[in-house]
Amino acid sequence: MSNQFEIVTAQGEFLNVHMTVANTGNHAQSFFATNQHLKIGGKTYDANGMAALWTSSANEEVNPGNSIQVVVSFDVPPGASGGTLQLHDSAFSGGVQVGLP
């Protein structure tokens, strides 16, 4: 991934997950890409913070009733696919798990 200001290189390859994040609560909530994780074959991959900056998905404030489109990138071994996303609304939440095909 690159733009005119920086280059982000994966150690393996980037698995990019496109999501819609909705705030169904009554107060503004922050989304941080780096709070999201991916599990494949018993291994946990953290979201790549530099790639999140490049895709403008690093952190976003979401007001009640609004939603945003984000791309969360994980640096995984070449050919890795599937797995389970662990999605969190904060670094301290229990999160939810969402399976990937």
The answer to whether 45 touches 5, Cβ cutoff 8 Å, is no
- Digit-coded pLDDT (tens) for 7-59: 788 999 999 999 999 999 999 999 999 999 999 999 999 999 888 776 666 78
Q: Which structural domain range is residue 27 located in?
A: 13-80
**pLDDT on residue 6:** 60
**pLDDT on residue 50:** 85
Domain count within the chain = 1
Residue of 63 and 51 predicted with greater confidence? 63
Q: Whole-model pTM?
A: 0.84
Question: DSSP for 39-71?
Answer: EETTEEEEB-HHHHHHTT-SEEEE-TT-EEEEE
Taking residues 72-77, what's their average pLDDT? 95
Is residue 75 in some structural domain? Answer: yes
Is residue 76 in some structural domain? Answer: yes
Query: Measured between alpha carbons, how far is 11 from 50 in angstroms, rounded to an integer?
Result: 13
Residue type, 83: G
Is residue 35 in some structural domain? Answer: yes
CB count, 10 Å around CB of 71? 17
> Has residue 100 got a pLDDT over 70?
yes
pLDDT band at residue 86, thresholds of 50, 70 and 90? very high
